Chain A
Amino acid sequence: MDHMSEKIIKVLKDMDIEDATPESSLMGDLELESLQIYELLAEMEALCSVRIPERVLLKVDTVQDLADEITKLVEKKHD
């Protein structure tokens, strides 16, 4: 499990969402509501000090997908 996925899973645990794995689908397996997903994005923005554009939501299904997108944004910011 990569570092970013771990961060996301920890944030989900703080949101009382247990049993998340990198392969868990946000809306499918974890059954997150839209507000919870927005809350997750906001927490990750604060944690990683990066702005996550809403367009990312079109590309992510699983925790790993979100981790990959956030990692790309963080690397882009540091370049």
Chain B
Amino acid sequence: MDDTKQKTVKNVIGMWSALKGLLVIAVILGHSVYEAEQICNIPVYPIPFRVLTKAGGIILFTFFVISGYLFNPKKKGIGKQYGKYVLIYVVAALFMTVAAVINDWITGRTNPNAGSLFLGCLYGASERMSLFGWEIQPPYALWFFAVFMNSWLILEMLTKIKKEAVRRGIIFGCPVLFFLFCIGVGRPGGLILERLPFYIVPTIIAVMLLYIGYYIKKENILFQKIKWYWWCIIIFTALGSYFFGKIDMMRNGYQLNILDCVGGICGVFVVLYWYIRLINPDNRLLDPLMWIGRRTLLIIPIHCVEWALFMWADWRKLRPLGMYGSAFLIFFLRMGIIVLSCIVIEYLQMKYKRWKQEVKKNGSYVRENH
């Protein structure tokens, strides 16, 4: 293995964990900004928050591309791994529902949240809607977890297709069909088909993003020299999407149609390419980011549960703090709850693993001595 590839393999997982940690922080801050907006009722965000929320689409895209980069097709155990994801989703949905029941009870809400939230988890709702007379609502950030686990499964299955052309045809063809459909029905900016169950369109886009990340790793593109004219095209497309477009992955919103999608991918490439070159792995600031990045799939469900439990947007008493004060207070409270919950859950997991290992060891001791 040459030096370049050595760097790719040796450093990559830690570096990408740190970037995922940063993305998680950005997402939670973005959600806190949204809650603060509800509290303060301010129609226009301050500029730093506008920059952050504008980057929302590219943040999610980056997350999927990194996950694709770290993806490797499994030879076996796909069902077992998918089962673990489904279990996390179901447990998170149940905890979220219980949290919403508690919040409904404490606030004395006349229009309870819990039922519509639970149904939203079962259905995979992207927006508030009525289904056969039942009110359902999106399950906060759990949609992202659902999209991740389903897109992972689909990519695992697609990697079993031997013919590369067929595989790529499906992976890239499905999103292209969606964008053509948007144009065909006169809604080029998307925001359609959001009532389909279980985030079918976001999953299709996510499969493509995972595959792009996987391809970038396989071809070692991040460590190749990119010609200046390609950089011009990539940066121009990325900036065009950022300033003139808008990506709303959950609700299938792509203001510039396929250009937004391509622009988002270009933006991701710029971020990854320069991140891996500019960030010093010896910088200790990476440690807390890696800690968070490693626990992303635990943090997302915890984030949803605390969202349902505290319903931050109802905290009108924070209004005197203003937009910045409310947003950062909610953000730091959230991060505190999330970090503490992770520590407790992992402590319990560690206890359980040690107990299992003891049982296994004692079991073999008994077998050997009889």
The answer to whether B10 touches A59 (Cβ under 8 A) is yes
One of B6, B13, B294, B357 near A46 (C-beta < 8 A):
B357
Q: Which 7 A-B pairs have the closest CB atoms?
A: A46-B353, A54-B290, A57-B14, A58-B14, A31-B72, A34-B70, A61-B10
The answer to whether B72 touches A55 (Cβ under 8 A) is no
The answer to whether B11 touches A58 (Cβ under 8 A) is yes
Interface size (B, Cβ < 8 Å)? Answer: 34
Q: How far is the CA of A45 from the CA of B350 in the complex (A)?
A: 8
Residues of B29-54 whose CB lies within 8 A of A = none
> Assuming the A-B contacts A33-B72, A54-B287, A58-B281, are A43 and B9 also in contact, with contact meaning beta carbons closer than 8 angstroms in the complex?
no
* B-contact bits for A9-27, CB 8 A (1 contact / 0 none): 0000001100000000101
The answer to whether B357 touches A47 (Cβ under 8 A) is yes
B153: shortest Cβ distance to chain A, in Å? Answer: 13
A70: shortest Cβ distance to chain B, in Å? Answer: 15
Nearest to B80 among chain A residues (CB) is A16
Among A25, A33, A49, A54, the one with the most B-chain Cβ atoms within 10 Å of its Cβ is: A54
Chain B contact residues: helix, strand, loop or mixed: helix
Question: Does B366 have its Cβ within 8 Å of any Cβ on chain A?
Answer: no
The answer to whether A25 touches B357 (Cβ under 8 A) is no
Nearest to A43 among chain B residues (CB) is B353
The answer to whether B353 touches A42 (Cβ under 8 A) is yes
Interface size (A, Cβ < 8 Å)? Answer: 27
Q: How far is the CA of A15 from the CA of B64 in the complex (A)?
A: 24
The answer to whether A32 touches B14 (Cβ under 8 A) is no
The answer to whether A33 touches B17 (Cβ under 8 A) is no
Question: Does A37 have its Cβ within 8 Å of any Cβ on chain B?
Answer: yes
* A-contact bits for B247-280, CB 8 A (1 contact / 0 none): 0000000000000000000000000000000000
Question: Does B349 have its Cβ within 8 Å of any Cβ on chain A?
Answer: yes
B285: shortest Cβ distance to chain A, in Å? Answer: 12
Question: Does B95 have its Cβ within 8 Å of any Cβ on chain A?
Answer: no
One of B13, B74, B350 near A57 (C-beta < 8 A):
B13
Q: How far is the CA of A32 from the CA of B73 in the complex (A)?
A: 9
> Assuming the A-B contacts A16-B76, A31-B72, A58-B281, are A46 and B17 also in contact, with contact meaning beta carbons closer than 8 angstroms in the complex?
no
Residues of chain B within 8 A (CB-CB) of A1 are none
The answer to whether B9 touches A46 (Cβ under 8 A) is no
B152: shortest Cβ distance to chain A, in Å? Answer: 9
